[in-house]
Structures are given as structure tokens and as C-alpha cells.
Amino acid sequence: MKTARILVIAGSDSGGGAGIQADIKTITMLGGHAMTAITAVTAQNTLGVSAVHPVPTEMVLAQIDAVIVDIGVDAVKIGMIGSAFTATQVALRLASLDVPIVFDPVMVATSGAALADEATIAAFGLLMDLATLATPNLPELARLTGEEDPIAAGLALVSRHGCAVLVKGGHEEGDALADALIEEDNLTSWQGQRIATNSTHGTGCTLASAIAFHLGCGDRLARAVEQARHFVRMALHEAPGLGQGQGPLGQQSVRLDTSSGCGPLPRLNQVTVTGKDYAAMVAFYRAIGLIQIVDAPTNNYARFQTGGGATFSVQIDPEEATSESTAVYFECDDLDQRVERLARAGMAFEHGPRDQPWMWREARLRDPAGNTVFLYKAGEARRFPPWRMDDE
């Protein structure tokens, strides 16, 4: 399966919320390979930016050249550019590179600190002339065009530079949000509800990098934007709540909610087993460590979240018989300690942790309905045992 190679040209955020750090986390979680040309080093956290040190233009270009000549590039994301001279030279260097380019014209940090001077903003036009897509937020869009109406501003940029423009509604007031992708011959819009969180530092960087990843995988532009929006929303839901100000997103916690890799395989979402006693089944699966996320006893249904993001459900049906041929496996990094703790609490195991010929270590028990349950630890042998078939 092909790995998308994404070159990110942007600044470093010491707090890890935005910039290169957000870009790398996003591309990695989506299944791509992130490469970087750092344009500036910033000292910042969730409260603001305290210092900015631009990287010399020749060093920015050297990073770009080193990546292109050896690894190759499937798409480029440009964020904080550092200086007008760097913007001009980067545009010249990328002109011969025939890959999608996503330009996020970073001017101001989430905290309000300026990240681009007037000369640098004036040079943004050279990058938009090359870009497949520009992703300014509403204040940036107004600054670039002088237009108050976002759609009129987006149309002006499309007409002026030939790139598509994503008009992002995140800076609008109210709970309803709308984003619009304006292309030369098409307009696509998405609606959604605002996610109540103070952890929004890096949303623009994350969105642009996710779009670049999907374009690098060969997705059409509208599809790439749709997928990237979903990733950002999931990362907002997963925000860890760090810092005293505008906190970072939770890219590292997004699992199985967005496609990963080019040509994604079907992903396992959930497994459902049948039981006869709702309370006993819920107690059992909570005891082994699952997190209950649906509690619907009147509908004879409970649902649990696992550590990897997939879910596990119990459907109560007194008339349905369980099958000896069905087995459910839960992977546990702390297998031996977990089994010992459960056994001390009175849970009966058919056998404790054992090393198996197939290189897994397993413990076996049954849930209250008689379904076979394995707690196991496999390490790299789970996905890469010696007998694994080569990917086609």
C-alpha cells in the first residue's frame, strides 16, 4: 500500500499545538510520511507567542531540496513562511514541482500574535499562484482581499490567482458553522455544529495538512476537504485539555474515525455478541476494562469502547443461543497483571496467561452468556508474524 509523502513548509511551535508539530501528528495519524522544511522557530505555548526566530532562506531551500532529491513528494503543505524573501524563493523552487500544493496563509496565531509582516503578506500572492488550494481563515481572507463578504473574497482570490479557496467558517459567531470550497467552476459547501472546546490551537494547520495528505493520495479536492474536515472535528472531540489558554487538538487520539493510508481497507468498527442477562453482561465487560458508551437496558443493548477506537456491543436475547465457535479477543498490554487483578476479584478463568505456538500470550474465560473471551498480548506478532502473507 502506497505511503503518501507530504512535504510541510512551516514554522515550529514549541508548545506542540500548531505549526510543524500539528502537521506531523496529522499526517502520521492519517498514515502518511511527513517531511519538513522549517521556516521559523517560535517560542510559544497555549497562552501566546513570546519569540520568533526566522530560519535563513538558504536553509529553508536546502531542506526542500534534500527531501525532493531523495525521498520525493506527493503533495506540499505551506504554513508560516517566515519572510517575504523566503516566500519568493520557495515559490520559485516549487514552480517546477508538479504536485498538489495547499497554502495556509498564516498571519496571526490563535493567541493573536502576528506571524507575518506586511511584506510577507504581499508575497503570499506568489504562493497562491502555484497553489492547488488556499485555506485562509476569515480574518486572513479579509486581509488578503479587502472584501467584507467571505464568498466575494474567496471568488476574488480564485479569479486573481487561479487556485481554489476554502472559506472556513470557524471564526463566525454562533453554533452553526459553514465551510465553502470555491473553485473556478464549482462551489461545494459543508454545514456543521460548533464543537464546544477551548482547545482550538492548530485547527488551521491540521486541516491544511490533512487536505494535503488526501490530495497526495490522489483524492479529488472536494473529497480531500471533506475527509480533512472530519479529521479536524474528531481531533477537536479528542482534545486533551492541556495548557491554560487555547489548548492543542488531540490528533494523536484519532483512531478508526478517518481513512488512513492511500486506498484505505475496510475498518473493523464493532463486534456484537448475544447475552441473556443485561446486568451481568455489562458488569463483566466493564470489569475486564472496556468503557461503556451506550446504556440502553430497555432496548436490551449496551455498547463499549475499546482502547483502539473500535467498539464492542452486547445484545440481550434470551431466546438466542451462544456458539462455541465464536471467540472474542481483547489485546492487553498489561495482560499478566490484568488477569491477576481480575482473578483476585473473583473472575474465573479457564486458563491463565500462556505462551502459544502462534506467538501470542493468552488467557481464556467466558462471559455470563458463555461466549468465549480471550485476553491476550501479541506484540509485533499480531500483525507481523513470520508467516504473514505479503501485501498484494
Nearest by Cα to 178 from 190, 196, 161? 190
| Catalytic residue set | 168, 200, 202-205
Cell 504581499: give the residue: 122
Q: Using N-to-C axis directions, what is the helix angle for 118-130 and 84-94, rounded to 10°?
A: 10
Asked if 319 and 276 touch (Cβ cutoff 8 Å), the reply is: no
- Name the pairing type of β-strands 186-193 and 270-275: unpaired
Beta-sheet strand order (sheet of 311-316): 270-275, 311-316, 301-305, 291-296
CA 54 to chain centre: 28
Exposure b/e, 224-243, CB count within 10 A at least 16 = b: bbbbbbbbbbbbbebbeebb
Q: No. of H helices and E strands in the chain?
A: 10, 17
CA atoms within 13 A on the CB side of 222: 11
CB 22 within 8 A of CB 209: yes
Closest C-alpha to 115, from 27, 189, 41:
41
Cα(17)–Cα(203) distance, integer angstroms: 9
